[in-house]
Amino acid sequence: MFSLSKSNFSPVSLTLPLFRCGIRELRQRIHTVQTTQKITEAMKLVAAATVRRAQEVVVNDRLFASNLAEMLNDVTQRLKSDDVSTPLTDARPVKTVALVVFTGDYDLCGSFNKWVIKWRFQQRRLRSLLMMFSHWLCEFLRKEKSKWHKRAPRVWMSPMRPKCPLCERERSTRPVITRNKKEINWLFLLLGQMLGYCTLEHLKYFCKHNEVHGTGANDVFSLFVVYTRFVSLVRFEPVVQTLLPLG
C-alpha cells in the first residue's frame, strides 16, 4: 500500500497576463475581433462558392473528356483495321519519352505538387523509362550545352501584350517579333504561351526550319500525361495515361 501525504503535492499557480487598459481600449479590441470575424466568415462563403463552381466544372467536363477519349479510340481502331499508317498511331521503337505533368499553380500548392511528382517517380513503368533514357539525355545535354545561349529571350517565356501608347490601355497591342527569327528557339516549348501572338508567316517559318530550332517534335516516340483525377474535395487519384502512340 502506498500512502500519499499532502506534502507531496504543491498547488500549481497560473499567472495570467494583465492588460492595463481602460474600458475604451477593451471595447475597441472587442469591436476589432468582431469585425475580423465577419470578414473571415465572408471569406469562407466566397471560398465555398468558388470550390462549388470548380467542382461543377470538373464534373460537367468529365463526360466530354470521356466521350472524346472514346472517339479517339474508335478512330484509332478504324485506322488500324483499314491499314492506314500515321505517325500518331504507329508503334515505333521508343527512343525518347516525354512526360507532361499537370500540377497546381495557385495558392498553397507546393505540397500537392511535391506529392504528384514524388508519386510519378514511384511508378514502376515511368521509373524504368526514365532510367533507360537518363544516359541518353545526359549525353545530349553535354553535346548541346554550347547552344543554350541561342534560346529564346526571357520575355518570350511569359509573353504579355504591351501597353498601347495611344489609348494607354494595358495588354492591348501585339508584341513585336524580331526579324532574326532564329533567335526564337524551342518552338514547342513556347507555342502554348505564344499562341495568339504568332502569325501564320511565323509558324510556317518555324515549321520550315525545324532542324535549325531544335524543337525535338520529330524525336518523341512516346508521350505520357500525368494528372490527378478528381474524386471528391479531399481525394484525388493520380493517373498516368499514354497519349502517344494513340490507342
Summarised one tens digit per residue, pLDDT across range 26-67 is: 888 888 888 898 898 888 888 888 888 878 887 777 777 777
Strands 222-232 and 97-101: parallel
Quickly count: other Cβ atoms within 10 Å of residue 203's Cβ.
14
The pLDDT-based confidence of 164 (bands split at 50, 70, 90) is low
163: Cα within 13 Å, side-chain hemisphere: 5
Given a cut of 60, whether residue 2 has pLDDT beyond it is no
Strand order in the sheet with 222-232: 97-101, 222-232, 235-244
Quickly count: other Cβ atoms within 10 Å of residue 96's Cβ.
16
**Cell numbers found for residue 201:** 508567316
Active-site residue flag, 164 = no
The pLDDT-based confidence of 153 (bands split at 50, 70, 90) is very low
| Distance set, CA 235 to CA 47, 104, 229, 231 (Å) | 18, 15, 9, 6
Spans of all domains in the chain: 20-84, 93-244
Catalytic residue of the set 109, 138, 164, 207 = 109
The whole-number average pLDDT for the span 100-110 is: 68
The predicted-structure confidence for 165-184, as pLDDT tens digits, reads as follows: 666 766 555 545 555 544 44
The whole-number average pLDDT for the span 68-90 is: 73
pTM to 2 decimals?
0.41
**Cell numbers found for residue 97:** 519519352
pLDDT reported for residue 70: 79
Q: Which of 99-103, 184-188, 194-198 has the weakest average pLDDT?
A: 184-188
Report which secondary-structure segment, H or E, holds 30. Answer: helix 23-81
pLDDT reported for residue 214: 44
